[in-house]
Structure 1
Amino acid sequence: MTEILFIRHGETDYNKKNLYYGHLNPSLNKTGINQLKNTKKRLEGMNEKIDIVFSSDLKRCRESLELIELDENIKKYFSKELRELNFGNIEGKSYNEIGKEFPHYIDEMKNNWKYFKAEGGESLNDLQKRIVKKIDKIKEKYQNRKILIVAHAGVIQAVISYYLFNNLDGYWKFKLDNGSITKMVVTDDGFIYFDYINR
């Protein structure tokens, strides 16, 4: 049995302001730091013995991982492939700003949300393909291990939706709080289920 724990990074000021940001690189704010201190306690209480760690290479995930204070002997890998959705030319903007600057985007963002792609960015469909390719490699290579992945809401939502529905239909059905833990289990015969989501 292979177990993968996903942790969403702590809050940043960009989260607080409800900005669209994927590849921008802010640090955690005070709330985010406290969230991850609580995540550390929860993780310790669960008594999960982590074998290996993968994380998005962005600052908010790196800082979140540091706050969990795992044993320094555990191998940690940082990957661009685990980054949040690239929002292209709407990075760092609020929904209202997008409506003013790119009014032609709004209709597509609502009605074609799986395939909508801002200029210079990627679609949720692109994100899901990128993430699943990476997760499949990790779970194949590290069978029967306990793996920790520190990533972003969009990444984890894309993973849950893919392994439960085999598409993006479940993407908006799950809420993932900053600092929350989600556990995916791969059985020996390859069956996948989620032990819990957003704990």
Structure 2
Amino acid sequence: MTTITFVRHGITDHNMENRAQGHTQNPLNETGRAQAALVAKRLAQESWDVFLSSDLRRARETAEIIARETGKLVDFYDERLREMDRGLIANTIEAERVQRWGANWHELDMKQETHAMMRARGRGFVEDIGTRFAGKKILAVTHGYFLGHTLKELMSDESTGIQMRNTSVTTLCLEDNGWCYLLYDCIRHLDES
């Protein structure tokens, strides 16, 4: 059986400030590192055939903490797992965007990746990895907005993938009729602490 378990990275100061992260290389904060340690302990209770991660710093840090606890090194970093490219608004908060470009900034071309582009990237990643590692148990560290839109695309369900929580665990299983959830946005490792 092919499964892909997605883990959203630990929390960052940018998350707490509601700052557009996109492809910025910002680190986890202290809470994010503690969250990553808790999810790592949880994931160490299972064995993994393939371990992938986004190459952005916050995901890499989360993956490195998981690798230390599980003893499974990251097999490779995959740019397809990156967060949505936020273009010109990366590293800004709403007030800064309004000050810089006006209240209607969202109507301007801010060179951002579109939802359609991100969904195609997510579907392409899942289809490729699911085929390349058929029958394997795959672990992938990624980002919330990217993961949410990937799930919307795969499940053909706009009600899914909303507000994926930091270090949440979501497991997909490939069945005859497509991908289905085995676990969705689970943070029991945080609740137990």
Using structure 1 for the length normalisation, give the TM-score: 0.85
Q: Separation in 1 of the partners of 2:114 and 2:12?
A: 23
Q: Separation in 2 of the partners of 1:24 and 1:31?
A: 19
Whether the 8 Å CA contact 1:3–1:185 is kept in 2: the answer is yes
Report the CA distance shift for 1:118/1:56 in structure 2 as closer, same or farther (over 3 A).
Answer: farther
Report the CA distance shift for 1:23/1:118 in structure 2 as closer, same or farther (over 3 A).
Answer: farther
Q: Name 2:163's counterpart in structure 1.
A: 175
Matched, 1:150 2:150: no
SS in 2 for 1:177: coil
Q: Separation in 1 of the partners of 2:8 and 2:109?
A: 24
Q: Separation in 2 of the partners of 1:64 and 1:37?
A: 8
Q: Separation in 2 of the partners of 1:105 and 1:197?
A: 34
Deviations 1:58-92 (A, max 9, x none): 111111011112324x5511011211011111111
Matched, 1:81 2:80: yes
Q: Separation in 1 of the partners of 2:80 and 2:112?
A: 14
SS in 2 for 1:186: strand
Q: Separation in 1 of the partners of 2:41 and 2:83?
A: 25
Q: Aligned ranges for residues 9-158 of structure 1 at < 5 Å?
A: 9-44=9-44, 47-68=45-66, 69=68, 70-72=70-72, 74=73, 76-102=75-101, 103-106=103-106, 108=107, 118-158=109-149
- Compute the RMSD of aligned alpha carbons: 1.8
SS in 2 for 1:194: strand
Q: Name 1:113's counterpart in structure 2.
A: none
Q: Separation in 2 of the partners of 1:75 and 1:131?
A: 19
Runs of 4+ in 1 over 3 A off after TM superposition: none
1:34, CA displacement in angstroms? 0.2
Report the CA distance shift for 1:99/1:153 in structure 2 as closer, same or farther (over 3 A).
Answer: same
Q: Name 2:173's counterpart in structure 1.
A: 185
SS in 1 for 2:19: coil
SS in 1 for 2:104: helix
Gap runs ≥5 in structure 1: 109-116
Gap runs ≥5 in structure 2: 187-193
Deviations 1:8-39 (A, max 9, x none): 00111111111011101011110000001110
